[in-house]
């Protein structure tokens, strides 16, 4: 009987200490609680990468040979916003195939296919990129320096790259990431 009473006392003290510790940590945090990188509920509300890569135009299995991922160099945005800040009349002129949002202009990790992707059109080559007629370009809303990609964006880039690689047989050496995201997907 005394042993059972001792167990209850230990459990009550443990519960009180864990609750007070959690309250202390929450009061010291700078902002509201976030879902964190492992919150599956927000991740599963997004359209799958396999669904996002479908397009209006017919897709040829050997059309695409490379995938480039680059940063938007902005802290927020989506397709429409990126088109407007780059001086385009409409989003059809945006020179990438997919935009991966960070929660400021679209849901965190949302994959937005552009009109170029829907039409299976090529992007224009850029200065230091490997771009060409056979390159799929993916824009991640982040700057890479002051505004890093979120954990969800990184996971979604990985799943998008995996889906595109499977569908179009893009070899691993045909996938190019920004410097700090160069680890690439884990197949």
> pLDDT higher for 91 or 61?
61
Residue from 158, 142, 156, 136 nearest 105 by CA: 142
Q: Which stretches within the chain are classed as H helix?
A: 2-28, 40-44, 49-52, 79-85, 115-118, 151-168
Whole-angstrom Cα distance, residue 172 to residue 183? 11
- pLDDT at position 158 is 93
Taking the chain, what is the end-to-end CA distance rounded to the nearest angstrom?
56
43 — pLDDT class (breaks 50, 70, 90): low
Does residue 58 surpass a pLDDT of 90?
no
- pLDDT at position 186 is 43
Q: Are 155 and 109 a contacting pair, CB within 8 Å?
A: yes
Does residue 6 surpass a pLDDT of 80?
yes
Q: Could you tell me the two tokens for 109?
A: 């990790």
The DSSP code sequence of 19-49 is: HHHHHHHHHHSSS-----TT-HHHHHTSPPH
**Residue 44 backbone dihedrals phi, psi, to 5 degrees:** -80, -10
- Region 97-117: what's the mean pLDDT? 86
> pLDDT higher for 138 or 37?
138
Does residue 115 surpass a pLDDT of 90?
no
185 — pLDDT class (breaks 50, 70, 90): very low
Cα–Cα distances in Å, from 165 out to 65, 98, 161, 182? 9, 14, 6, 16
- pLDDT at position 82 is 64
Does residue 105 surpass a pLDDT of 80?
no
Residues 6+ apart with CB under 8 A from 170: 64, 65, 66, 67, 136, 164
Whole-angstrom Cα distance, residue 50 to residue 43? 14
Q: pLDDT tens for residues 122-167? A: 887 766 555 677 899 998 888 767 778 888 888 999 999 999 999 9
């Amino acid at each position: 009987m005394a042993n059972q009473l001792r167990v209850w006392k230990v459990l009550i003290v443990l519960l009180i200490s864990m609750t007070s510790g959690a309250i202390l940590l929450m009061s010291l945090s700078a902002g509201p609680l976030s879902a964190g990188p492992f919150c599956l509920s927000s991740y599963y509300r997004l359209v799958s990468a396999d669904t996002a890569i479908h397009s209006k135009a017919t897709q040829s299995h050997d059309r695409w040979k490379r995938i480039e991922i680059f940063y938007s160099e902005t802290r927020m945005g989506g397709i429409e916003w990126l088109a407007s800040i780059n001086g385009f009349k409409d989003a059809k002129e945006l020179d990438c195939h997919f935009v991966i949002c960070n929660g400021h202009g679209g849901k965190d990790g949302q994959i937005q296919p552009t009109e170029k992707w829907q039409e299976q059109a090529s992007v224009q080559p850029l200065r230091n990129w490997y771009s060409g007629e056979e390159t799929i370009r993916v824009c991640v809303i982040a700057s890479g320096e002051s505004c890093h990609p979120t954990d969800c964006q990184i996971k979604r880039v990985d799943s998008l790259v995996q889906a595109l690689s499977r569908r179009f047989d893009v070899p691993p050496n045909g996938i190019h990431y920004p410097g700090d995201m160069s680890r690439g997907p884990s197949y």
